[in-house]
Amino acid sequence: MKFVPAAISRQVAHGALLASKSSPELLFAAGIVGMVGSTVLACRATLKADVILTEAKEKMDLARNMEHEEYSEMDRKKDLTLVRYQTGVRLVRAYAPAIVVGGLSIAALTSSHGILTKRNAGLAAAYAALDKGFREYRARVVSKYGPEVDQELRYGVREITTEDPETKEKKTVKRVGPQGESIYAKFFDSNSPRWSKEAEYNLIFLKAEQNYCNDILISRGHLFLNEVYARLGLPHTKAGAVVGWLHQKHHPNSDNYVSFGVFEGQTMKARDFVNGFEGSVLLDFNVDGVIYDKIDNPGERLSWQLNP
């Protein structure tokens, strides 16, 4: 490599990296194109096969009907065997391109799936490690400063002083920071078809839905976040399709319950909502992390399913 200029080697390495990054898409596209090509080649081979089989039939009929004193039954059997062999070889040659292209296409599709599976497994492992570190960090913050400070740090809550233009009375209120809600948190407000102008109804509704979600978790062993969003009239998210809750009986790292983060009264706004002074509230769900790769674990099943 010392004879290759550094600029060229970097370009080559960069191109190899891009090719490796896009390899699943490239292999998938190649597999699809190959399968189409294999089908076309198979159709063309079928047309050739009709001619081959017709010629073979004529030769076999000739051998079967041949009558000559020097043409023995042994010669007839040899000729029939030779015709069958030659016909088989010609058919294999005719279909060989379609078989080879089809096999390479299947290999490309399989390789694409394998690469994506490994990458997804790596992402899930990385997320699990990150989520574990974040939970441990939050636990230390709660232990040292309390849940109120934890919520303020997590959502970037800051105090803002407002002044009434008429009375000139100043009031200090807390507001969520510019980064908005967390990745899983959602506001339950008038944008949801399940929301009501009656604050008491919203409180009863959220309590009932939280209890129902806990019943589902206990009876089924798992629950996806998007399923909870749907029950609350909230839009689905990409993260909600893979994260959720698992039953703690078989997964000790789980909280063993579904919480909307409202009824603990950890924030001023949540307390106002519970007390009926606030019509909307920020729901923060205590998901256990990625569960889509764990729900097929036999350990997740309930005891009565394992021991019928």
49-100 pLDDT, tens per residue? 889 998 888 888 888 888 887 878 888 888 889 989 999 999 999 999 999 9
Q: Is 33 left (phi over 0), alpha (psi -120 to 50) or beta?
A: alpha
Asked if residue 251 is part of any domain, the answer here is yes
Tell me: do 255 and 199 sit in the same domain.
Answer: yes
What pLDDT does 268 receive? 54
Residue 1, in any domain of the structure? no
pLDDT, one tens digit per residue, over 27-44 is 899 999 999 999 999 999
Q: Which residue has the tokens 């699990």?
A: 128
Residue 5 pLDDT: 67
For 305, counting Cβ atoms within 10 Å of its Cβ (0-12 exposed, 13-18 middle, 19+ buried), the class is: exposed
Kindly list the distances between the CA atom of residue 178 and the CA atoms of 47, 62, 182, in Å, as whole numbers in the listed order: 68, 90, 11
Q: Which residues of 119-136 are buried (b: 16+ CB within 10 A; e: fewer)?
A: eeeeebeeeeeebeeeee
> Where in the sequence is the domain holding 166, given as residue range(s)?
150-180
Confidence of residue 304 (pLDDT cuts 50, 70, 90): very low
* Domain shared by 21 and 63, yes or no: yes
CA 95 to chain centre: 38
- Residue 30 lies inside a defined structural domain of this protein: yes
Say whether both 161 and 209 belong to one domain. Answer: no
What average pLDDT does the segment 245-260 reach? Answer: 73
Nearest to 296 by CA among 243, 222, 217, 219: 222
Q: Report the percent of the chain where pLDDT is more than 70.
A: 73
Average pLDDT, the chain: 79
Share of the chain above pLDDT 90, in %: 22
What integer pLDDT is reported at residue 178 of this predicted model? Answer: 46
Judge contact between 108 and 30, C-beta under 8 A: yes
Measured at the CA of 280, the angle between CA 276 and CA 285, to 5 degrees, comes to 110
pLDDT value, residue 32? 93
pLDDT of residue 251: 54
